[in-house]
Amino acid sequence: MEEVVHARGHEHVRAEHTSTFEVTTDDWLTPAGDCIVAVEADRAPADFSEAFVDACQSADATITAEITVGDHEQTVVGSGHPDLTFESDRSAVARTSDYVDERTVMTDADSPALGIDREMVTALVEGAELTLTLSVE
């Protein structure tokens, strides 16, 4: 089961955060947003199917984020959590910790923004399109 989000990079993408990465529906980004990797997302967690959300709420769930930017691909793997609500209508956040709020789409992620391939980050700074495919097992 999967959910797909399309977004784009922005000149202020830094991808330097050490514990999260985020994709937002906002159309702007300040230099302080060092976890945000893409803006103008066409969907937010609140748009995801009930079946997908239910599957992610299992503590045994494995959630995979496939990030694609042009020819660059990266996979981030994390965990589900019983407290995931997917209620945010603005942002999807993957976290390396077990902290959960309405924006959280995975916990215990094996890579934060800082771990994203630097060639991918350069493309995002130049405004490249990003596809985020979240799947749950």
Mean of pLDDT values over 73-91? 98
- Determine the residue type at 73: E
Amino acid present at 20:
T
Task: Specify the pLDDT at position 89.
Answer: 98
Distance CA 119, CA 44 (A): 26
Q: How far apart are CA 109 and CA 94, in angstroms?
A: 6
Residue 80, pLDDT score: 98
**Topology adopted by domain 2-136:** Jelly Rolls (2.60.120)
pLDDT in tens, 105-121: 999 999 999 999 999 99
Return the percentage of the chain with pLDDT > 90, whole number. 100
Can you give the pLDDT at residue 28? Answer: 95
Per-residue pLDDT reduced to its tens digit, 3-19: 999 999 999 999 999 99
**pLDDT attached to residue 31:** 92
Is residue 113 a contact partner of residue 130, using CB atoms and an 8 Å limit?
no
Domain ranges of the chain: 2-136
Whole-prediction pTM: 0.97
